[in-house]
Amino acid sequence: MKYKAVITDYVWPNLNIEEKILNENNIQIIDANNFSKSELIKEVSDADAILFCFKEIDAEILEAAKVCKVASRYGIGVDNIDVKKCTELGIVVTNIPDYCLEEVSDHAISLILSLNRRVFDHWSLVKNGGWNDLNLDIPVLRLSESTLGIVGFGRIGKTISKRISSLGVKSIAYDPFHKIGDIVDGVEIVSFENLLMKSDFITIHVPLNKNTHHLFSKNEFNKMKNNAILVNCARGGLIDENAASEALFNGSIGGIGLDVIEDVSSNPKSALFDNQNVIITPHTAFFSKSSGEELQRRTSEEVIRVINGRIPENFINPEVEENSRIL
């Protein structure tokens, strides 16, 4: 093989799709899914490409990758790679921002519906012998009388508003890249504060950075309706989980649904584990058989584009062209 690609980590059953696509283009793949950091540093020293999912790709790993041309993310967010260091070293960074729009949208909506209808609370009641102990003095909202606030009105936010409108839910949105008062795809753009006060449900779809870290904390929870449901399928650091736990305990908000939490260790902990009307899934909102296969294929195709000297479809650091190792 003429080229070498190291795959640092993945969560699907095998690398058959990558192997077929990359080998056909003279690229050997190295499965580093179970490598230690020191082993990975050694392996990337002569790699032309790095494909990564949840692995932290820091400056130490990147500096060891002396001939690497491209780092291709399996997924949307790139907060787990040092993009600035990549640009400095001449490494192109790519992602796949639109492979799971339906899946993430459906997951967020399912969390909203399950929390609003108290599905898991009622299931717990039934399996513990409480069929006749149902308490109807709880805030379950009629969807056609409800408002969804979407924080971040990009691809996923727009997909959610379209899908949930079929259930009669009105959507409003906050996005710093849209002017307040504008109507975008039939949805009114409002200020962040107005969204907090008006929404019965809120779903977050923004990247995690220094400006969005703990975007939702005590001050924001105090402005929300006391039966509001908050959903986050983006990044864990967007929510201050200690403040969220306190807000739930005090009745400042009504429920929280998460597909991500702040602690990304192998044995994560969260203050929210002890709260009622909380649903947490292990970062699976992106997944369906179709989305997984699409992700494997398109991530591999981005590697091929860059190694062949072509501009990738999804270019995270276009400024790297000035000193790219390949373009």
pLDDT tens over the chain, length 327 residues? 799 999 999 999 999 999 999 999 999 999 999 999 999 999 999 999 999 999 999 999 999 999 999 999 999 999 999 999 999 999 999 999 999 999 999 999 999 999 999 999 999 999 999 999 888 888 899 999 999 999 999 999 999 999 999 999 999 999 999 999 999 999 999 999 999 999 999 999 999 999 999 999 999 999 999 999 999 999 999 999 999 999 999 999 999 999 999 998 889 999 999 999 999 999 999 999 999 999 999 999 999 999 999 999 999 999 999 999 988
Within 13 Å of residue 141, how many CA atoms lie on the same side as its CB? 24
Q: Classify residue 182 by its DSSP letter.
A: -
Cα dihedral 182/184/186/189 (nearest 10): -50
> Which residues in the chain are classed under CATH 3.40.50.720?
3-99+288-322, 101-280
DSSP H helical ranges for the chain: 16-23, 37-43, 59-64, 83-89, 101-116, 119-127, 155-165, 192-198, 218-223, 241-250, 289-307
Pair of tokens at residue 72: 């291709």
User: What is the C-alpha R_g of the chain?
Assistant: 22
pLDDT value for 154: 96
pLDDT value for 136: 84
Q: Which CATH class is domain 3-99+288-322?
A: alpha beta
Cβ(105)–Cβ(160) under 8 Å?
yes
The CATH number given to 101-280 is 3.40.50.720
pLDDT value for 198: 98
Query: From its phi and psi, is residue 22 left (phi > 0), alpha (psi between -120 and 50) or beta?
Result: alpha
Pair of tokens at residue 67: 């001939």
